[in-house]
Amino acid sequence: MEITRLDVEGYEEVYRATDARSGLKAFIAVHDTTLGPALGGCRMWHYSREEDAMTDVLRLSRGMTYKSAVARTGLGGGKAVIIGDPKSEKTEELFRTMGRFVHTLGGRYTTAEDVGTNEADMLVLREVTPYVSGLPRIKGGSGDPSPFTALGVFVGLQAAVEEAFGSDDLSGRTVALQGIGNVGYHLAKQLNEAGARLIITDVNKERLKEAADELGATIVDPREIYSVECDVFSPNALGAVLNDRTIPQLKCRVVAGGANNQLGEERHGEALLRRDILYAPDFVINAGGIINVSVEFMDGGYDEAASLKRVHNIRRAMHDIFATAKEQEIPTSEAAVVLAERIVAEGRRKRDSGGAEL
């Protein structure tokens, strides 16, 4: 395996790894470890260019720093991406090689499952490195983080609905969900149980029909989901879906979903504000999964009750961000970054002063 360290401003460590025998092409980015060792998922995706994979790992690792900071996990931010089709190119040799790549960082980065990877893949990684979390419950881990991510999105969505409409009652509210994958499906079930009317879309037509039949949801084409009349637009697929093309199409009052990096560019937070659309910042609302995984690091091991309690705190964090945005007259996306960077800066001051309170 050939590993190359890349110099990227603003990031502590970034590496590229290739291995001809296993076919591995991957990146690991450690953004910031001020608050603790970096934790972030290992994504596998069929990127068309290596530059796209590099862009993704940098954006995602930075998001993990902010996500862990606001969620008060006591961890830093990192991410890994594997270039490849998760449906056709997975092999145990590939993931063992990836595990050795993770191991070279000596614990400064711990990985977990993400888009395109699962618990079984994490078990293969675990064969060659201890720096893996999100393992199955039977192995002492926290298991699939998707239900916890979905729970966090649900309570954060409730907070946003309360802010926008004066009540968190979802009965009769229309929610347009983009993506019925692991997180989107669990979220859709909770919304359905809360009485919301669902409009859904996904590129997986079979899964889409199953979800629609089970939940009584209305199906629309993926190109139409942005323009449907709804109270809440909920992006739960890949990122950069809020951009110059899609924002003018939105007919909602709230955007709240589980996808990472939803804004195409930072300026799109301002674009949403100008249209009087309340945005629930992604790295805050979707922190439930990383909160659940972080509980594995607690003394005594994983505790589901402790995890659920922490996930429910996302609602309070959302209200804090909405209040900060109002006070400073800035978009909620900026308010979330202000809060995250303040927490990291406080941690850095404590670290540099030897842990003494300032």
Residue 10 tokens, joined: 């603003």
* 79 catalytic residue (yes or no): yes
Q: Which residues contact 225 (CB under 8 A, 6 or more apart)?
A: 176, 178, 199, 201, 233
- Torsion of the alpha carbons at 217, 154, 280 and 211, rounded to the nearest 10: -20
CB 58 within 8 A of CB 8: yes
The one catalytic residue in 67, 79, 87, 209 is 79
Cα separation, 61 vs 247, whole angstroms? 25
Cα separation, 292 vs 308, whole angstroms? 8
Tell me how crowded residue 126 is: count the other CB atoms within 10 A of its CB. 18
- In angstroms, what CA-CA distances link 186 with 148, 257, 349? 9, 12, 39
Q: Which residues pair with 242 in a beta bridge?
A: 263
Residue 232 tokens, joined: 């809440």
Cα separation, 244 vs 344, whole angstroms? 31
Q: What is the identity of the amino acid at 39?
A: L
Kindly list the catalytic residues.
79
